[in-house]
Structure 1
């Protein structure tokens, strides 16, 4: 419970910094509910005798707004950059912060969600504990799209507005193997 309390405070601080990075008031992302609705899951990857034959988790981007990842010292997380996979080496006591699809939409592509995967390893076990900030439940039935203060004639919206519950249903019903990402349906 203590860890969750600290995660929530970290989330609020990260959203203040991200708001400022967008040129907004520090409380902007928190005031629209971004730091609410966090959920924590735990992943356990046992040692795999033939890691070349499997993956831990296939390529995907997180559906939510922001992910804070705690992992043990067993590597396996990789990010995709310029069509090449790069290892994210664990740092003792460090956390990995991933931008999710919804922050990409809110920021009108100023922030990009990160495509990543977890690969199997013959060493282990690998343990990862992501905390997903997906916004307050009250956002589910409201129009969701780029923050209006970020839009201008020079920076038009790159996404049409959508209902968050429809996007999440699409995301969770799609296969991680799909080449088309659920976010693609909302691009202008």
Structure 2
């Protein structure tokens, strides 16, 4: 698996900070305001829920999640310009990363984009509310991200870990940096090579 942090990515620090604050504000608002988005129907463009894997996991995760399909063609957040601005900038960064990865693999610069690796954008905003009995919790379960690669905006609280050579390592939170996970991309076979 491959992880690295990107700085000087062209997304203003104010936009990153506003995204973190916006996700926090969404989760901390009254439950009546969030009710219209609450669902376990994965075909919806916007979903808010707690413990998305509640019925299949051995233990419940202590988190709430706002999940928004931003690309292709999501216009549901037309009133939330911050989400649109952030998603446009992340898509541009993703296209740059796909070009660099294509070149690193010895391929034409547009190869990964041409085979569809950059066609979607799913934004997920997790919120970990204070736990009344933290000594009884295990934290979030280990998982593999489902996308070709993941671009993660981490807050300053930290807590993100990666598994490398059977050892969990903390990912230091760097203000303004984005964490890139190439895990699935590195495991995926590229049948068109």
Give the shorter-chain TM-score range: 0.5 to 0.7
Q: Secondary structure at the match of 2:187?
A: helix
Residue segments in structure 1 that go unaligned for 5+ positions in a row: 107-145, 150-188
Match of 2:148 in 1: 65
RMSD: 1.6
CA distance in 2, matches of 1:147, 1:52: 46
Query: Shift in Å at residue 51 of structure 1?
Result: 3.3
- TM-score where L is the length of structure 1: 0.54
CA distance in 2, matches of 1:79, 1:50: 25
Tell me the equivalent position of 2:74: none
Unmatched 5+ residue regions in structure 2? 1-83
Task: Please list the CA deviations of residues 52-93 of structure 1 after superposition, one character each: whole Å capped at 9, or x if unmatched.
Answer: 432342111112201000021001111111211111111000
Hey, what does 1:109 align to over in structure 2?
none
Any residues of structure 2 matched to 1:1-188 within 5 Å, and which? 1-106=84-189, 146-149=190-193
TM-score between the two structures when normalised by the length of structure 2:
0.53
Render the CA deviation track for 1:89-130: whole Å, top value 9, x for unaligned.
Answer: 110001110114255213xxxxxxxxxxxxxxxxxxxxxxxx
Matched-pair contact (CA < 8 Å) for 1:63–1:100: no
Label 1:88 to 1:49 Cα distance change in 2 as closer, same or farther (>3 A): farther
Measured in 1, the distance between the counterparts of 2:185 and 2:164 equals 19
1:39 CA drift (Å): 0.8
Alpha-carbon separation, structure 2, partners of 1:49 and 1:56: 13
Q: How many residues get paired? A: 110
